[in-house]
Structure 1
Amino acid sequence: MVTTPPRSIPTAPKVSKVEGIKERSNALREPVATEILQDTTHFSEDGIQILKFHGSYQQDNRDNRIKGQEKDYQFMLRTRSPGGFIPAQLYLALDRLSEEYGNHTLRATTRQGFQIHGILKRNLKTVLAEIIRNMGSTLGACGDINRNVMAPPATYKNQPAYMYAREYADRIADLLTPHTGAYYEIWLDGEKAITAEPHPDVIAARQQTREGVAIPNNEEPLYGTYFMPRKFKIAVTVPGDNSVDLFSQDVSLVVILNDRDELEGFNVYAGGGLGRTHNKEETIARAADAIGYVDKDDIYALMQAILATQRDHGDRANRRHARMKYLLHDWGVDKFRETVEGYFGKKIQPFRPLPEFKYEDYLGWHEQGDGKLFLGVSIENGRVKDEGSFRLKTALRLIEEKFALPMRLTPNHNVVLSEIDPAHREEIQGILDRHGIKKETEIDPLVRYSMACPALPTCGLAVTESERILHSVLDRIRALLVKVGLPQESLVTRMTGCPNGCARPYLAELGFVGQSPDRYQIWLGAEPNQTRLSAPYLDNMALDDLEVTLEPLFVYFKQSRNPEESFGDFCHRVGFDALRQFAASYDPTVLETAIEATTGSARQRHRISVRPEIYQRLKGMATEQGKPMTELVNAAIEAYLNGLLS
């Protein structure tokens, strides 16, 4: 007797928990709309996830955690500011709201937005409504959606490429803005904010219903019920300008002009992304690939096609594998391009030649090209605050109250003030000088080109410090460079409190990535203009071991660098095996002896001899582990003494 096997019933593909939360949200309305009315200090887990789409993260002040007591819940709000544009009216509103409802500071982000920290749940609606009514928005600043579209902050009026980059950052932000009415229903009780209408071409593109791209009968025709698998990041820049860290973006567009300085089209990069997880080798930092070129008339259709490709093929089961960089990594560029072309409906043209990219920060005074000026002001670690003699918050408030200058935040979390009448230059500079704000020529380049994420105490993902300690770390690095004979040397240094990479440490010459309390993974070898990724050199470096770890590297760099070679390029050229071998055999007493011979001063040193066979074993172990012998000796002695004491 032969039996027919039962027909298998297809099962729904496995998806992450967040996908279900999005499905139940009624286009981002619930449970936020219900829970914002409840007299509680925080949102549910479902509410936290949907709140992100509205531009807010639920946090708690981890410095105030007390066992057995409720967490000190508070909220961070982030602006959606394409190209970093902040009108004077909005800035003054943000300044006031941070004083009345926040922690008295503003935080300029590395994606050209402002954050207000420390808002209580009962004040969240008030603050958000005020931002909207003062020409701002937070919609899509967080969540599984297109984030803030970046562009160079320079406000040149006589360089058409920069004008097109700013213009198309605005247009693409409008193109990919969610359709849902949830945002205004919840925060303005259904009142539609008065905003500028998108460009007619953008309106037409949003209304198109191309098969495979638009989702029929859905409130969100482009995003659908589930939005994106993860965050989606875009930048628009000009040839040669890498102020936006273009290789870190999901999609980067480079404006291409014809011989008459008219916009012809865009070069397209795709597949960048820096977030990763420690001890999860399948998670990677990745630089974007060149995809091709499209004419300007096709750019909206192409952006929708790329977004639809990631929407439909991104990994919705594993959020660690959900960014678009994994499609490029798993598929390769050719398959990715072919898939996009299927949605796009035509071939993507060959990539156009480009000049070498350079990093720019636009600090200091510059001619706009129309008779007016713009001024780049450094904000160390992006924190706008008044502290001691440094009173940047007051200075910016005074300038904006008197001159109402348009503002653009930079991708290096600084600020550019634009449209400045030359007659006002002296007065504006005087305000900054009186409030302790350094000119760009007075800032140590180590500080000028550094970045840190907020980390502790507010970020729930941070495993250790970042913003609060970076300045002291840079002081120690500067002292070390002076010690080894490189007093004028600088390098791009970035620090994060976790591996998600918000301050883009994987594109830094020297990256500190939080790995455990007071310990960091060290990344080396990126190019100073952020066109090449760094690589992990050392795991779990204790902050106390900073000098013993970096001194051998700086000495090797000084001894063996090529003329004008940067530290990042040096590390990349010689390779990590050579770096580790040099560090393992490095004898710090040689440098100390040289310093004494030069300065005539002697330091107190404690000499301890070891047997030759112990020395050889120690040297071999140091080479194997890629650590200085001094570090291993100190660790062994400390462990021995602790054992005796216990």
Structure 2
Amino acid sequence: MTQTTTPTPARSEVEKIKEASNYLRGTIAAGLADALTGAIAEKDTQLLKFHGSYMQDDRDLRLERQKQKLEPAYQFMIRLRMAGGVCTPAQWLKLDELAQRYGGNTIRLTTRQTVQYHNVLKHQLRPLVRGIDEVAMTSIAACGDVNRNVLSSSNPFQSPAHQEVTDWCIKIDQHLRPQTTAYREIWLGEKRLGADQEDHEPIYGKLYLPRKFKIAIAIPPNNDVDVFANDLGFIAIIDAAGKLQGFNVAIGGGMGMTHGDAATYPRAATVIGYCAADKVVEVAENVLKVQRDFGDRSNRKHARLKYTIDDRSVEWYRDELNRYLGWSLEAARPYAFTTNGDQYGWLKGSDERWYLTLFIQNGRIKDWHDYPLMTALREIAKVHSGDFRITANQNLIIGGVTDAQKPRIEALVKQYRLLDGSQQSALRVNSMACVAFPTCGLALAESERYLPDLVTKLEDVLREAGLADDPITIRMTGCPNGCARPYLAEIGLVGRSPGKYNLYLGAGFTGDRLNKLYKESVGEEQILAELTPLIQRYAKEREAGEKFGDFVVRKGYVKAVIEASRDFHG
């Protein structure tokens, strides 16, 4: 009898590029030296992501340059790696300086607690990377098929264990960084390995991961990092005395999907067990390794951890993880989230220092003619002795302020009229948008440049309904990749085409349940027409303490998404 075997799926082109790259080198160095074009080779654009950068072009200029038979206005986005989003005032001043020299006088705070620069020209990349290296910062693995910046709850007012959780965040981040010497060789001019030497990646191997991998650590009761949006989430378990005991482990979160492809979908992570605090790095490494070995390397749209889990089952992944560990996770411990946003204004931490959370609309830091935000933060950094903390909601915390120093910081805040959230509506401070146009090559519609205007119109609706002070999460992205986590917003808007968005409703306010498509491809007029009566009904018929996302599910506007693979599109 002839025996048949199942053929191994062909690997994707990106897998082949990684394998041939000599540990992420490719021909990046040669491409940077080519002064005849503002671009680099297409294959190298895939490798460049591992170094923290994407090649883009100014889409506002694209058609005009095509008419003039000019190549696109190529530029680069470069993102830093900042575990937990923390940096010193000296580092902030350097980030500010580099933004003025290379980044178009603006800094973008991201939803992964870091900063990124746009509008960087090719010849500026090396000096920019060298600049961030001067203050012990890096862009390695801020993008690419690796573990990216590890998130951690931002504000220590909520728990005496906050610093310990932040320390574990940094340890995980450092442990999972790629070991290739290509980064320092290409960008910092360090000596290349000899002919008889080869890089070694003890965790990733030569092919790295099948797709990107994201980790976050949350401290209940505040899910400010949207822990369930991540491939791997750790939920801190803290006892009554405020001591960190360990972490619940959640796996399989992810926001990306593709319009019109029901095989792709966002997913909220599933809690699978508990580990002691001193085991958290080991667990992180082995969750990653299981995905390294079993993730789909043939279809990149199916390569995230969420699909590996849904293909094989949560139970299979837990059993495989326990096998890799050589010991078993314990049963998950009880926990509860009550919010997932930032706590604005001045708060005193358990360390007896002050923390001021500023509202930074969509994470954009620059000087407007009537709001010199960038200058204000620069002046604060010059006198500040604590730290700066970027939140996962694109805001900024002036952290570790002493009683003695607080009046000086307060005076600068007042001088520059900085926004601490109290001057904004509850909807606006719970809003978030991705960059989209003009720099993102994937954008189908506006996001950052449009959401503030839409929020203004919705504020009028909420005010008339008597809901101006009621928090509702609203998030917008220019494409379905989900960089602003729109599928965990009570109102999610995802770009379909210029001026048109898919409207999603019904997520849990604490970030524990996905929303669901309510209306497809709607413009501003229809968005307002759909939301206005719904908001009015919510104001009149909600139950005590009921959140907007729960209300629209209870009233049948959308069904609750319990199992993403079945319910999100179904």
Could you tell me how far 1:335 is from its partner in structure 2? Answer: 0.9
Q: Given the alignment of the two structures, is residue 305 of structure 1 paired with residue 305 of structure 2, yes or no?
A: no
Residues 344-364 of structure 1: per-residue CA shift (max 9 Å, x gap):
112221111113343241321
SS of alignment partner, residue 468 of structure 1: coil
Q: Which residue of 2 aligns with 1:36?
A: 32
Between 1 and 2, higher relative CO (CA 8 Å, sep ≥ 6) is seen in 2
Asked if structure 1 preserves the Cα contact closer than 8 Å seen for 2:385 and 2:401, the reply is: no
Contact 2:518 2:558 in 1 (8 A): no
Pick the aligned partner of 2:54 from 46, 53, 57: 57
Q: Does 1:340 align with 2:321?
A: yes
Distance 1:356 1:491, change over 3 A: closer
Among 2, 11, 14, the alignment partner of 1:15 is 11
**Structure 1: which amino acid aligns with 2:19?**
E
Indicate yes or no: 2:471 matched with 1:509. no
Could you tell me whether the CA contact under 8 Å between 2:160 and 2:351 is conserved in 1?
no
Of 430, 433, 442, which aligns to 1:449?
A: 430
Give 1:143's aligned amino acid. G
Stretches of structure 1 that go unaligned for 5 or more consecutive residues are 193-216, 580-646
Contact residue 357 and residue 420 of structure 2 kept, 8 A = no
> Are residues 438 and 256 of structure 1, via their aligned partners in 2, closer, same or farther at CA, if it must alter by over 3 Å?
closer
Residues 44/567 of structure 1: CA separation in 2 closer, same or farther (3 Å cut): same
The match for 2:96 is: 95
Measure how far apart 1:289 and its partner are.
Answer: 0.5
> Are residue 414 (structure 1) and residue 415 (structure 2) matched?
no
Question: 5+ residue gaps in structure 2?
Answer: 193-197, 561-570
User: Hey, what does 1:197 align to over in structure 2?
Assistant: none
Paired with 2:558 and 2:296, the residues of 1 have a C-alpha distance of 35
C-alpha distance 567-237 of structure 1, shift in aligned 2 (>3 A): closer
Q: Which amino acid counterpart does residue 166 of structure 2 have in structure 1? A: R
Q: Which AA in structure 2 matches 1:279?
A: G
Give the SS at the match of 1:359. Answer: coil
Q: Aligned pair 1:546/2:547, yes or no?
A: no
Change (3 A) 1:241 1:486: closer
The partner residue of 2:552 within 560, 571, 578 is 571
Q: Secondary structure at the match of 2:77?
A: strand
Match of 1:62, SS? coil
Verify the 8 A CA contact 2:516 2:558 in the aligned structure 1.
Answer: no
Superposed counterparts of 1:326-405, under 5 Å: 326-405=307-386
**Is 1:479 the equivalent of 2:480?**
no
SS of 2:54's partner is strand
**Helix, strand or coil for the counterpart of 2:493?**
strand
- What is the identity, as a one-letter code, of the residue corresponding to 2:60? D
Return 368-377 or 122-131, whichever deviates more.
368-377
Aligned 8 A contact 1:155 1:162 in 2: yes
CA contact (8 A) 1:98 1:117 kept: no
**Greater share of helix:** 1
Contact 1:273 1:287 in 2 (8 A): yes
> Which residue in 2 is equivalent to 1:536?
517
What is the CA distance between 1:430 and its match in structure 2? 2.4
Q: Distance in 1 between matches of 2:290 and 2:94?
A: 39
- Asked if structure 2 preserves the Cα contact closer than 8 Å seen for 1:357 and 1:531, the reply is no
For 1:127, the aligned partner's letter is: L
- Aligned: 1:45 with 2:61: no
Aligned to 1:286: 267
CA contact (8 A) 1:18 1:49 kept: yes
Offset, 1:466: 0.3
Q: Give the corresponding residue for 1:79.
A: 80
Change (3 A) 1:370 1:484: closer
- How many angstroms apart in 2 are the aligned matches of 1:242 and 1:517? 33
Secondary structure at the aligned position of 2:213 is classed as coil
Q: Residue in 2 aligned with 1:425?
A: 406
Residues 191 and 84 of structure 1, relative CA distance in 2, 3 Å threshold: farther
Scaled by the length of structure 1, what TM-score is found? 0.82
Contact 2:215 / 2:230 at 8 angstroms: preserved in 1?
yes
Structure whose alpha-carbon radius of gyration is higher: 1
Quick one: distance in 2 between partners of 1:255 and 1:546? 38
Contact 2:341 2:430 in 1 (8 A): no
Is 1:178–2:178 an aligned residue pair? yes
Distance 1:280 1:411, change over 3 A: same
What TM-score do you get using the length of structure 2 for normalisation? 0.92
Tell me, yes or no, if structure 1 residue 188 matches structure 2 residue 197: no
Q: Secondary structure at the match of 1:349?
A: coil
- Separation of aligned partners in 1, 2:462 and 2:120: 41
Aligned to 1:466: 447
Alpha-carbon distance between aligned partners in 2 of 1:542 and 1:443, rounded to the nearest angstrom: 25
Please say if residues 237 and 335 of structure 2, whose CA atoms lie closer than 8 Å, have aligned partners that are also in contact. Answer: no
Tell me, yes or no, if the aligned pair for 1:505 and 1:512 is still in contact at 8 Å: yes
Q: Could you tell me how far apart the structure 1 residues matched to 2:559 and 2:82 are? A: 45
**CA deviation after TM superposition for structure 1 residue 401, in Å:** 1.4
Corresponding residue for residue 109 of structure 1: 110
Q: Is the 8 A contact 1:306 1:340 kept in 2?
A: yes
- C-alpha spacing 1:125/1:535, structure 2 compared with 1 (3 Å): same
> 1:119-177: CA deviations, max 9, x gaps?
10011100011111112111110000000000011145x94321221010000001101
CA offset digits 1:474-532 (Å, max 9, x no partner): 01111222344544444111000001111011111111100111000001011222121
Distance 1:526 1:257 in 2: 27
Q: CA 1:458/1:294 → structure 2, altered by over 3 Å: closer, same or farther? A: same
TM-fit CA distance, 1:460: 0.4
Tell me if structure 2 keeps the 8 A contact 1:164–1:255: no
- Could you report, residue by residue, the CA deviation over 1:264-313 in whole angstroms, capped at 9, with x for unpaired residues? 32210111111111100111111110110122343232222111110011
* Counterpart amino acid of residue 19 in structure 1: E
> How large is the Cα RMSD of the aligned pairs?
2.2
CA contact (8 A) 1:218 1:224 kept: no
> CA shift at 1:329, angstroms?
1.8
Label 1:27 to 1:517 Cα distance change in 2 as closer, same or farther (>3 A): same
Quote the offset at 1:236 in angstroms.
1.5
What is residue 195 of structure 2 aligned with on the other side? Answer: none
Contact in 1 for aligned 2:516/2:559 (Cα 8 Å): no
SS of 1:442 mapped into structure 2: coil
Distance 2:120 2:278 in 1: 43
8 Å CA contact 2:506, 2:558 repeated in 1: no
**2:568 — aligned with what?**
none
